[in-house]
Amino acid sequence: MQTAIEFYRAIPEGMPRILDAIQAWLRDLPDRGIDADGEGLWHCHALTRATKLKWQLKRWRVTDGFFCRVGTNHSWLVRDADREFPRLILDVYPVRGFRMPLLIEANEWGSPSPWNEMYIEMPGFFANHHRQQWERDANLILAASHSR
C-alpha cells in the first residue's frame, strides 16, 4: 500500500529505500554502553546528525528544538519546500518511538500539516557545547556502525 505522500509524489525518489536502510541501520546499531555521564543509549541529537552524514542528505538540515512542547528536547532533519516537493520532516529517532524513522509532509501552505505544531524549531536555545558533544557522539555512532 502506498501512503499519500508516495501516491502524490511528495517525497524524493529513492526516499522509501533510504528509510528502509535507516531502519535496518538503527536495528543493527550496537548500544552505546555506559559512559562517564551514566548515559547508556544513543540519543536523537547524535543519531540525526549521523544519519545526515551517513546517507549524505545534502538537501536536509539538522534541526534542534522541542517535540510537542518546550522542555522535550529533540533533533530531526528538515528538507525545506521547493518547486518540486513540500517541506518534509525526517524524524530519525522519534520521541518514545521504536527504532523506526518517521517521514512527514509538513506543508506550511495550502493544506497545512498538523505536524508543524509538534516540531518546534529552536536552534539558538541549545548552547554550542551541546551541539559539539552531539557532533562527537554522531562520529562515535558512525564508527560503531562501521565496526559491525
pTM to 2 decimals? 0.85
Rounded Cα–Cα distance for residues 106 and 113 (Å)? 5
Q: Could you tell me the pLDDT band of residue 36, with boundaries at 50, 70 and 90?
A: low
- How much is the mean pLDDT over the chain? 83
- Here the cell at position 77 is 532533519
- Report the DSSP pairing between strands 88-91 and 60-67: unpaired
Looking at residue 130, its amino acid is H
Whose CA is closest to 89, among 99, 76, 98?
A: 76
Q: Answer whether 79's CB lies under 8 Å from 91's CB.
A: no
| Residue with more model confidence, 3 or 19 | 19
- The residues pairing with 65 across neighbouring beta strands, listed in sequence order, are 74, 121
